[in-house]
Amino acid sequence: MSLGNLVKERMELFNMDMNLLSNESFVDIETLQHILSDDLEGEVDEFDINMIASSLYCTPEYFKDAGVRARDIVTNSLNRGLDNSKSILSKAKIQNFVRDFVFIQEIIERR
């Protein structure tokens, strides 16, 4: 799946339009339009992808690796149409918390 389609899919999950994603991620509309239309000249700026991923409650690897997408809590726990925007957002925040917690644990273990 292309980068543009993955970003669109994630935006739909969180009911985000291009303007909201631009405001949340600090990535300008023109850049987002190029990403969403897969009209990219070369590589997408790594900083932009990091900011977009953060705003869409995932990691940049989500857009590159099917294995990471397969382990995504948000998309793997959709409740057959019973989810709403609040439950999806809650799952995303839990996923971010777990990711941050694991990161902190790894730092502590390295000491």
Cα 31 to Cα 8: distance, rounded to the nearest angstrom = 14
* Global pTM value: 0.79
The residue segments making up the domain with residue 56 are: 3-110
Tell me the CATH number at 57.
Answer: 1.10.260
- For the stretch 78-110, pLDDT in tens is 766 677 788 888 888 888 888 888 888 998 998
Token pair 């987002």 is found at 32
Give the pLDDT band of residue 45 (cuts 50, 70, 90).
confident
The confidence score (pLDDT) of residue 61 equals: 95
Q: Is the pLDDT of residue 51 over 80?
A: yes
User: Is 33 within 8 Å of 18 (Cβ atoms)?
Assistant: yes
Domain total for the chain?
1
